[in-house]
Amino acid sequence: MTNPLLSQWTTPFELPPFAAIKDSDFAPGLEQALSEARAELAAITEYPEDPTFANTIDALERMGEGLNKVLAPFYTLAGVDSNPAREELQREFSPKLAAWGSEVMMNRALFARIEALWQARDTLGLDAEQMRVLELNRRGFVRAGAQLEGAEYDRLKEVKERLAVLGTQFTQNLLADERDWFMDLGTEDLEGLPDFVIATARAAAEEKGRDGHVLTLSRSLIVPFLQFSPRRDLRETAYEAWVARGANGNETDNREIAAEILALRAERAKLLGYENFATYKLETEMAKTPQAVRDLLMQVWEPARTQADADAAALTQMMHGDGVNGDLEAWDWRYYSEKRRAAEHDLDEAALKPYLQLDAMITAAFDCATRLFGLEFAPLEADLHHPDARAWEVTRDGRHIAVFIGDYFARSGKRSGAWCSALRSQQKLKGDIRPHVINVCNFAKPAAGTPALLSYDDARTLFHEFGHALHQMLSDVTYEMISGTSVARDFVELPSQLYEHWLEVPEVLKKHACHAETGEPMPEALLEKLLAAATFDQGFATVEYVASALVDLEFHDGPAPADPMEAQTAILEKIGMPHAIRMRHATPHFAHVFAGDGYSSAYYSYMWSEVMDADAFAAFEEAGGAFDPEVAARLESHILSTGGLREADQLYTEFRGRLPGVEALLKGRGLDRVA
């Protein structure tokens, strides 16, 4: 039978035919696609004529189409619905793909052609986009080691392949720990839990094939359990299991893997002539240097820690009032913080949650995009990767813009967290290719026949990931290598974090936040309480994030630590980490940093982008309001449609007229008035 990965796709908009694809198709599909890609590479490097932009850069951009047809559906399935066969394929593919990457990016003949074009760039008659693509290609080849020779060349290839293997292993270990741990909850263990938490625990038990109720490590279940359960013993057990992911002393322990990854990254940087990995990594980011990152983080750390210390004192007093003596612990914070929020803001998440239906929040995100950018969303019947996934066709003025796919519910075998990726990216080199974009979340799945309800943080996550999706969908460039989210890592979070602001616009909530049972809109008083509490507990949230970002930075800004756990402890002690707050992502489960190179030395990126997103939303407020058409047009023209066409600071300056300072961020987090 024909391998569907190697045939022409006749599905709507050429989406992957997931129903026809078997796990056994991927390995032969990859081998065939790699063989074709190697032939395409040889045709470029052995081309008998002198290099031109068309026969070198354009040809390089066209290369590997078959690989994307295999890998896009494979890595989608591996992330959202893993199984032993797919995990084995990941382990098999990672070194092969790393080796292929080195074949291309460390290819001396190919680099010689690119270098010749670069030296003659002013005589080639290139437009601005072509010049940018040439510049990025040359830079990428240099940073990949194309200029190395001999033993250093060979060693760098080995390092890259080993890093690919370790990143896959780290991810799979973390997934195994998240999948395998659960705690049965008896009737007495449900005391004090709101109905929505009990229903979610019942649904989790059904998914595990067990009777009654269970607690899992799904964030959408464990966080509300920690918020509402009065059982301190159960909170401690659950919390310690949550933070012990990747550090259980068994075959899925990630601590030695993290140490080896850090050592190999340091070696990689040295081979390329850099002092350390952070210096290498940050060279192409907006921040440019480790010290610039450290300066930003410490500007935020000090007021955040001061606020967190004050909050800890208040929570400790509440805990002692309950007759619980001793120190406030990490498994106590969310419980007493929730009680404090209810007391100070009269805001009860259990009362709020029925107004935040998943379907209504999806509609709200779509509605904002319609008002801002003229996009329309129509449900699309398509063969998708999982029954829970849904698809929409995105149009504007009758023209097809994109396919958007949403996969929102947590399940066994699904990687934790939330992310946006493209099954196909926008480009024009091979025709008017429009993107296929997917948002993946891990919201608690409701019992059959009941609506899915979100926390306010869940709703913010939905808007965040949809901001990334807009960056992909509104892309309008010729070359795929700079389309959509192909921008500096510390700029890529700007569109996503900016889009979160529309969830806080009162008219959006008034229209879309309606009660799941009565259909009544959120009462004005509840809406006011919600918005008034927007900066509640930001000391905690900021401390746990900045601590993670600082540990990531220090791991890479200097020699690799022999024992990352000892180094983590020392870093946290040095900055004065509050006792009752832990890092958002401790080293053994810090997937942003260790599952791949994406956020290594760059977890600070969310905060760097937040400096801009607060300032960018202020541009709307200073104009005609949240839906001002002129500001929206500038946002699309200078940021959302341009991808990596120019350097990030230039794109932002074109939109706003200047670069922002940290003041807007501190104000947005309510930390500007901290003494």
* Domain locations along the chain: 4-147, 181-239, 255-328+536-668, 353-517
Which pLDDT band holds residue 129 (cuts at 50, 70, 90)?
A: very high
pTM: 0.94
What's the pLDDT score for residue 444? 92
pLDDT in tens, 345-370: 998 888 899 999 999 999 999 999 99
Q: Which amino acid is at 349?
A: E
DSSP state of 58: I
The per-residue pLDDT for 448 is 85
Q: What percent of the chain stands above pLDDT 70?
A: 100
Average pLDDT of the residues of the chain: 96
Are the C-beta atoms of 79 and 414 separated by less than 8 Å? yes
Fold matches, 4-147 and 353-517: no
| Sequence-separated (6 or more) residues with CB below 8 Å from residue 430 | 62, 65
Answer yes or no: CATH 1.10.1370.10 is held by domain 255-328+536-668. Answer: yes
- pLDDT band with cut points at 50, 70 and 90 for residue 675: low
Neighbours of 368 (CB within 10 A): 24
Percent of the chain with pLDDT over 90: 95
Architecture of domain 4-147: Up-down Bundle (1.20)
Task: Based on the residue annotation, tell me whether 465 is a catalytic residue of this protein.
Answer: yes
Strand 213-216 to 182-185 pairing: antiparallel
What pLDDT was estimated at residue 674? 78
**Tens digits of per-residue pLDDT, 68-114?**
999 999 999 999 999 999 999 999 999 999 999 999 999 999 999 99
H-only helix segments in 521-628: 524-532, 538-556, 564-575, 591-594, 605-622
Rounded to the nearest angstrom, the gap between the alpha carbon of residue 163 and the centroid of all alpha carbons in its chain is 20
Cβ burial of 464 (10 Å; 0-12, 13-18, 19+) is buried
Out of 465, 480, 500, 554, pick the active-site residue: 465
Which pLDDT score is estimated for 39?
Answer: 98
Predicted confidence (pLDDT) at residue 673 exceeds the cutoff of 90: no
**Looking at the domain 353-517, which fold is it?**
Neurolysin; domain 3 (1.10.1370)
Per the CB < 8 A criterion, the answer to whether 569 and 247 are in contact is no
